[in-house]
A and B are shown apart, each in its own frame.
Chain A
């Protein structure tokens, strides 16, 4: 009896590991058809690239770029008759629903990056400084207001943040800055920072509190002021923790769906300008998956995007977890 129960509990506990494996297997399985039966297309891609290097010798830079673009377009179209060859995936247009569907992932990847960069650039300084404030300067009453506030912010469902961004933030920002498009990457990124701030804040605060008291006391005893100790002793000591916090923040921002789906305008434009609408990878899955035919190319490509998201966040988490936490521990145990 005892033995049986122990085995049963172990088996059930093992489920969560099984599910991780299953997620890997099934998300990739649905994306797999892209990589089978596209060898011909791959050859074409190589040829196109060679032609591009010939062009380099004779043409000026601007022209060369133009030619390269055109070549790519041609090869995209050649490869893009309803299939999703690798060349087609590298293209610059995301136009899955048309007579010549184009599955260029570039605009989506750039879109995700743009929104994530905005979110992190806004969220990281605010969250880290606020965490420094709570752990180094804040009087007790301020802590008791700020901590619940962060918990409240963390508890707001992302669809609510998205709604707020869509209805309020977008209009306010447009009135202030006069954007051409009401919904754009900047609005999406700012909204996303609301979801990222609690994560970065919480992990940073943990890291700051984990800095041994002896270090701060030694610094204070040597005559350093409170802010000097905070800035030159505590903050540097907790760097690996801050690094982990930002990494996890990036992971969250990259994978978040509802906020960007509602606040970025969802136009798959390839541009570097932050005030234009974008379509991110996660939002593309969210918006299009419900309408695709099971098993066709579009469906497969959406799963491929999901796989990329999964692998990316998986790597970020693993790095944050294994590398950074371990280093932090080692540093504080004095080795």
Chain B
């Protein structure tokens, strides 16, 4: 009797676990297949390079691609250096027990866990209402509203904050794989600490910094919640050409087209194709990050 129960459990536990694994695999395949099949028909060079027309029911998504590109570029210009320097501080300067280092580590972990929508609120409350309004007051005496409203600069800065932990974690991991002997050799030759970091540690962790940047871009391109009210726009007749302009964005375009478009069914093809473009973009980025990370890890072993 006992042995029967044992055999039954012995079969059912592993197979239940395997079933759950299979479910996950199946879900991934179904989602990918559905979006590729749904979007493939509409995807074309025209779709990628033309602006929307006929009241958003036709044409392409070029402004959204351009806006996303601009967003992640500004975000990286701000976020990657700050993230890299923070990682350098945490791994090179701070002792693990120091209060400051633990405070910063705690802050980074917390940043990683704050919901994206709260970043959006922060962008609105801090960047737009506080910094932007303040800039308007100082620059024009508060007569015109230029910076105190949603625009691409505030959206990018909000996104930079959101992706900061991603950069810090990647860079730190890469810095850790730089062998100690290299640092010690440099110090023994008379280089100062900063010279060692600048000439030895950083060049050796450049792949890690790139990985961090790529992962941040992938995350930033996919998040929509933080830009809902910090700068993304439904439709714009022209591309943004100043930091104080609003912009169109791929993820936001998907959201708007699938929920608030006047004729949701008629634009299904556009929605699917936009989703496919966003997926291709994030996956290309993710896979190159995985590849780079793999290279860093194999170096640290061999």
Contacts and interface: CB of A to CB of B under 8 A. Distances in A.
Note whether A and B form a binding pair.
yes
Interface of A: 1-2, 5-6, 9-10, 12-17, 19-20, 22-23, 26-27, 29-30, 125-127, 129-130, 132-134, 136-138, 142, 145-146, 149-153, 155-164, 166-168, 194, 197, 201, 225-228, 230-231, 248, 251, 254-258, 261-262, 282, 285-286, 289-290, 294, 302-303, 306, 309-310, 313-314, 316-318, 321
Nearest to A165: B31
A228 B5 CA distance: 12
Given A2-B194, A132-B17, A151-B286, A16 B113 contact: no
A10 B286 contact: no
A15 B282 contact: no
Nearest to A283: B117
A115 B6 CA distance: 37
B107 interface: yes
Contact of A150 (B24, B108, B222): B24
Contacts, number: 257
Interface stretch (B7-15, B50-58, B176-184): B7-15
Given A159-B251, A197-B24, A285 B268 contact: no
A-B pairs with lowest CB-CB distance, top 10: A255-B115, A157-B222, A13-B89, A133-B17, A129-B20, A317-B113, A17-B107, A257-B225, A26-B125, A306-B121
B115 A254 contact: yes
Contacts of B115: 251, 254-257, 282, 309-310, 313
Main SS of chain B's interface residues?
helix
Contacts of A309: 115, 117-118
B93 A289 contact: no
Contacts of A155: 218, 222, 282-283, 286
A60 B103 CA distance: 56
Nearest to B26: A149
Interface string B132-171: 0000000000000000000000000000010011001000
A171 B113 CA distance: 32
A255 B113 CA distance: 9
16 contacts: A1-B194, A9-B93, A13-B88, A16-B82, A22-B126, A129-B16, A133-B21, A153-B28, A155-B222, A163-B258, A194-B27, A228-B10, A255-B114, A257-B224, A286-B120, A306-B117
A9 B88 contact: yes
Interface string B269-294: 00100010011001100100010000
A239 to B, nearest CB: 17
A162 B223 CA distance: 12
Contacts of A251: 113, 115
Nearest to A285: B117
A6 B194 contact: yes
A314 B114 contact: yes
B298 interface: no
Q: Which of A150, A163, A302 is the most central at the interface, judged by chain B CB atoms within 10 Å of its CB?
A: A163
Interface of B: 6, 9-10, 13-14, 16-21, 23-25, 27-28, 31-32, 34-35, 38, 82, 85-86, 88-90, 93-94, 100, 103-104, 106-111, 113-122, 124-126, 129-130, 161, 164-165, 168, 192-194, 218, 221-225, 228-229, 251-252, 254-255, 258-259, 268, 271, 275, 278-279, 282-283, 286, 290
B258 A166 contact: yes
B25 A29 contact: no
Contact of A314 (B13, B113, B259, B268): B113
Contact of A168 (B34, B164, B192): B34
Given A13-B104, A30-B121, A257-B116, A133 B251 contact: no
A321 B223 contact: no
Nearest to A197: B24
A255 B118 contact: yes
Contacts of B113: 248, 251, 313-314, 316-317
A133 B90 contact: no
B85 A30 contact: no
Q: Which of B10, B27, B38, B193 is the most central at the interface, judged by chain A CB atoms within 10 Å of its CB?
A: B27
Contacts of B24: 126-127, 130, 146, 149-150, 153, 197, 201
A16 B104 contact: yes
